[in-house]
Amino acid sequence: MEKITVKVAYATLKLQKVIQLNIKSNSSVMDAIIESKIFNYFDELSSLNHNQLSLLPIGIYGKKIEPSTYQLKDNDRIEIYRKLDQSPNQKRLKRQTDYQKN
């Protein structure tokens, strides 16, 4: 079986982790995430089961994908996205409002 190289990435405000691994070319996105064991580095991921992990938003190089249908390619970077407290627009508006108060 042919192997491909992929990276699995997740980041919080305090820590960013990118794990590179060699997997079978017919592996799914979820296979790669589970094999990477990236959930061992982040408390918010470690408590999730396989079904909950599959519900997280996931992308390849910044483009959101459907993990169940995406065919991994050599050198793909799988990114697990976290929920944002505020959208970028909300953050900019808050900074502007705070700036105007001072």
pLDDT digits (tens, 9 = 90+) for 4-26: 999 999 998 899 999 999 999 99
Residue 6, number of CB atoms within 10 A of its CB: 24
Give the chain's residues under pLDDT 50. Answer: none
Given a contact cutoff of 8 angstroms between Cβ atoms, the answer to whether 55 and 45 are in contact is no
> What class has domain 3-101?
alpha beta
Question: Which pLDDT belongs to residue 54?
Answer: 76
Q: Sketch the domain layout of the chain as residue ranges.
A: 3-101
Task: Pick the closest to residue 67 from 55, 75, 76 (CA basis).
Answer: 55
Going by their DSSP bridges, the two strands 77-80 and 3-11 should be labelled as: parallel
